[in-house]
Amino acid sequence: QIFHCFGCGVGGNVIVFLMKQERLTFKEAIVVLARKANVDINQFDRNDSNSVDDKNPFFEINALAMEYYHAILLYEKDPSAKEAREYLKSRGVTLETVQKFKIGFALNRWDGLLSFLEKKKISLALMEKTGVAIAHEQKNSFYDRFRNRIIFPIFDLQGRCIAFGGRRLNENDPAKYINSPESPIYTKGKHLFALLLSKPSIMQLDQAVVVEGYLDCITPFQAGIINVVASLGTALTVEQIKQLRRFTQNITILFDADPAGEMATLRSLDLLLEQRCHVRVATLPQGHDPDTFVREFGAEAFKERIAQVFSLFDFKLQKMIQLHGSQGVEGKGKIAALMIETISKYSSEVVRDEYL
């Protein structure tokens, strides 16, 4: 019941082995092992909504909702479901990918999921806390959060569904994306989309590619670039970086080729340095994101773009020159001040001196 490596001297029990081999925390290793051994974890307070127990009702609700949405996309005869399937086909998403990512669809009904969960004896209060239902302030009733949207489930590293992202099917809908609110099992900014699927490849290649959106991640993954994750927002957070750093220190940022994407990249760079990551920045032609680029030019062209990277320093310097201009004294002063902020975050004295 122990392991020992005679090469490096590392040893321990089954929990330590799993923590090191799969880069899990102690709690995560316990959950994985308990599931394998069919052991019910009872040592955590069942009134604690953050319990790692798989029988936590919030995990159960999300699991039921995920299967409901997924079944609708695959089998529902409603015209809107057929439209959703055609939409995904037009974006090049295959059936295999739909099944791998558990992509679903929410019908354009106010109580579709709500009615389904009520039949499963789930209370309205729990639905609201989980985030799949919303309370109507005036009518003292509830309705579905997601309606007429493609549904992308978000999983934790134990394979449990913790939240959802919903993309509009009707382009006239004012909100392109609606995401689950924070809940007892989901904190925005602490998770990365597709990390559960991409983790083995990230560890094998010792590199992660970080993109912005769901399809920006799914399309390259489907094309064979499977060390890719999405940030679930416009900028990486410290919590996301720490989670990713468990599997690799080598991170390539590839956000959309637009001003918003460039600003998101810049905001992420210094945070990555503070967490002692080795950062590179890849770029795409103006007007492209990873989804459109892979569909138009293919996987090999995408890999070439990832290989043609800027150092963090060069990327930021280039953008600062574009923003402030390098001819005047004031512009040079602003650029120097902003670059020194980044230089100060490098841990190596040699690197700091060279960049100065």
pLDDT digits (tens, 9 = 90+) for 101-153: 999 999 999 999 999 999 999 999 999 999 999 998 766 789 999 999 999 99
pLDDT given for residue 40 in this prediction: 77
Contacts of 12 (CB under 8 A, 6+ apart): 2, 3, 20
CB atoms under 10 Å from CB of 46, counted, come to 11
pLDDT tier, 282 (very low <50, low <70, confident <90, very high otherwise): very high
Beta-bridge partner residues of 229: 210
Contacts of 232 (CB under 8 A, 6+ apart): 154, 165, 179, 188, 189, 191, 192, 193
pLDDT tier, 49 (very low <50, low <70, confident <90, very high otherwise): very low
* Beta strands across the sheet bearing 250-253: 228-230, 208-211, 250-253, 278-281, 310-311
Structure tokens at 3: 């392991």
CA distance 185 to 129: 10
Q: For 218-229, what is each residue's pLDDT tens digit?
A: 999 999 999 999
Contacts of 54 (CB under 8 A, 6+ apart): 31, 35, 41, 158, 160
Arithmetic mean of pLDDT, 8-21: 92
Question: Positive or negative CA dihedral for 4, 22, 302, 221?
Answer: positive
Question: pTM of this prediction?
Answer: 0.85
pLDDT tier, 25 (very low <50, low <70, confident <90, very high otherwise): confident
CB atoms under 10 Å from CB of 98, counted, come to 20
pLDDT tier, 70 (very low <50, low <70, confident <90, very high otherwise): very high
Strands 228-230 and 250-253, by their bridges, are unpaired
Arithmetic mean of pLDDT, 331-342: 92
Question: What SS3 class is residue 251?
Answer: strand
pLDDT given for residue 53 in this prediction: 56
Which letter does DSSP use for residue 55 in this model? T
Which letter does DSSP use for residue 137 in this model? T
Do the beta carbons of residue 165 and residue 232 sit within 8 Å? yes
- The more confident residue out of 263 and 228 is 228
CA distance 206 to 200: 10
Q: Indicate the length of the chain as a whole number.
A: 356
Which letter does DSSP use for residue 183 in this model? B
pLDDT at 100 over 70: yes
Do the beta carbons of residue 103 and residue 161 sit within 8 Å? no
Question: What SS3 class is residue 191?
Answer: coil
pLDDT given for residue 116 in this prediction: 96
Q: For 295-326, what is each residue's pLDDT tens digit?
A: 999 999 999 999 989 988 898 999 899 888 88
CB atoms under 10 Å from CB of 209, counted, come to 27
pLDDT given for residue 326 in this prediction: 81
